[in-house]
A and B are shown apart, each in its own frame.
Chain A
Amino acid sequence: MCLIPENLKYTATHEWVEELEDGRVKIGLTDYAQKELSDIVYVNLPEVEDEFEAGSEMADVESVKAVSTIYCPVSGKVAEINEELYDAPEKVNEAPYEAWLVILEDVSMTDGLLDNYEYAKVIEEEKD
Chain B
Amino acid sequence: MGTFVPGTSAEQDQMLREAGYKNFDSLFADVPEEVRMKDLPEIPSGKSEMETYEDLRGIASRNKVYRTILRGAGAYDHYIPSIVDRIASKETLVTAYTPYQAEMSQGVLQQIFEYQSMICALTGMDVSNASVYDGATAAAEGVMMCLERKRNKILVSGCIDPRIISVIRTYAHGRGAEIEIIPEREGRTDLEQLGTLADSETAAVLLAQPNYFGIIEEAEEAGYIIHAAGAKFVLYCEPISLGLLKTPAALGADIAVGEGQPLGIPLSFGGPFLGYMASKAALMRKLPGRIVGETTDSSGRRAFALTLQAREQHIRREKASSNICSNEALCTLRAAVYMSAVGPQGLREVAVQCSSKAHYLAKKLAEAGLNLAYEKPFFCEFVTEGEKSGEILEALSNNGILGGLSLENGRILWCATEKCIAAELDRAAEIVKEVLR
Contacts and interface: CB of A to CB of B under 8 A. Distances in A.
Q: Do A and B bind each other?
A: yes
A95 B184 CA distance: 56
B99 to A, nearest CB: 15
A64 interface: yes
Interface in A36-73: 41-42, 44, 62-67
Contacts of B285: 42, 44
B234 to A, nearest CB: 21
Contacts of B407: none
A44 B286 CA distance: 11
Contacts of B421: none
Interface string B84-118: 00000000000000000000000000000000000
Nearest to B282: A86
Contacts of B310: 41-42, 62-67
A62 B311 CA distance: 9
Contacts of B315: 65-67
Contacts of B319: 67
Listed residue (A41, A44, A64, A67) with the most chain B CB atoms within 10 angstroms of its CB: A67
A122 B309 CA distance: 31
B163 interface: no
Contacts of A65: 309-310, 315
B308 to A, nearest CB: 8
A66 B312 CA distance: 10
Contacts of B309: 64-65
A125 to B, nearest CB: 27
Listed residue (A41, A44, A62, A63) with the most chain B CB atoms within 10 angstroms of its CB: A62
B427 interface: no
A58 B247 CA distance: 37
B232 to A, nearest CB: 15
B300 to A, nearest CB: 18
A67 B311 CA distance: 9
Contacts of A63: 310
Interface in B307-359: 308-310, 315-316, 319
Contacts of A66: 310, 315
Contacts of A64: 309-310
A41 B308 CA distance: 9
A41 B285 CA distance: 12
Interface string A61-101: 01111110000000000000000000000000000000000
Contacts of A62: 310
A67 B319 CA distance: 10
Contacts of A42: 285, 308, 310
A42 B308 CA distance: 9
Nearest to B148: A47
Interface in B257-311: 285, 308-310
A118 to B, nearest CB: 30
B98 to A, nearest CB: 15
A60 B316 CA distance: 11
Nearest to A57: B319
Listed residue (B309, B310, B316, B319) with the most chain A CB atoms within 10 angstroms of its CB: B310
A41 B305 CA distance: 15
Contacts of B316: 67
Nearest to A67: B310
Contacts of A44: 285
A86 B127 CA distance: 17
A90 to B, nearest CB: 15
B293 to A, nearest CB: 11
A64 B100 CA distance: 13
A11 to B, nearest CB: 21
11 contacts: A41-B310, A42-B285, A42-B308, A42-B310, A62-B310, A63-B310, A65-B309, A66-B310, A67-B310, A67-B316, A67-B319
Closest 7 pairs between A and B when the two form their complex, measured CB to CB: A62-B310, A67-B310, A67-B316, A67-B315, A66-B315, A65-B315, A42-B285
Interface of A: 41-42, 44, 62-67
Interface of B: 285, 308-310, 315-316, 319
Given A42-B285, A63-B310, A65-B309, 8 more contacts: A41-B310, A42-B308, A42-B310, A62-B310, A66-B310, A67-B310, A67-B316, A67-B319
